[in-house]
Amino acid sequence: MDFRKITWIRGALGYTVGHREGDTLVLDAISFVDTTWLGRGGFFHSEQMHVVEKFTRQGDVILYDVTVEDPEVLVEPWVLPTRTLRRNTNPDAGLQRERGNCEVYELNNISTQIRH
């Protein structure tokens, strides 16, 4: 079944369906509103935009590919160069160290920190 032929409720993030093709996760998105932009440059698109993202894991590396189709705006599919994402081997990767000027608020079982 071609889900692109079904009428979906449009949204800023579109409607995405994922599936696997061997070692690759494929995300297929449609049904976008035309008031959002592609990237930081403000590239506009229509409601007909169709985005396919592919994530392929090769050991500690993920290959990320994106193809954007939009028959109302683009003459041909926009294929971005493959990005290579490498796993950070540092055990503290992504963790923020505690700094001074930090307030801790606690309420029952909830605790939050506000940094200044």
State the average pLDDT over residues 9-38: 83
Which pLDDT value is given to residue 2?
55
Phi, psi of 9 (to 5 degrees): -70, 130
Q: Does position 115 have pLDDT exceeding 50, yes or no?
A: no
Q: Measuring CA to CA, which residue among 88, 73, 62 is closest to residue 38?
A: 73
Q: How many domains, in total, are found in the chain? A: 1
Give the Cα separation of 68 and 57 in Å (integer). 21
Higher pLDDT: 76 or 7? It is 76
Asked if 28 contacts 4 with a C-beta cutoff of 8 angstroms, the reply is no
Decide if 20 is inside a domain.
yes
Which pLDDT value is given to residue 116?
41
Q: Does position 20 have pLDDT exceeding 70, yes or no?
A: yes
Domain span at residue 43?
3-88
With cut-offs at 50, 70 and 90, classify the pLDDT of residue 12.
Answer: low
Residue tagged 């932009």 (tokens): 37
Q: Does position 1 have pLDDT exceeding 70, yes or no?
A: no
Decide if 46 is inside a domain.
yes
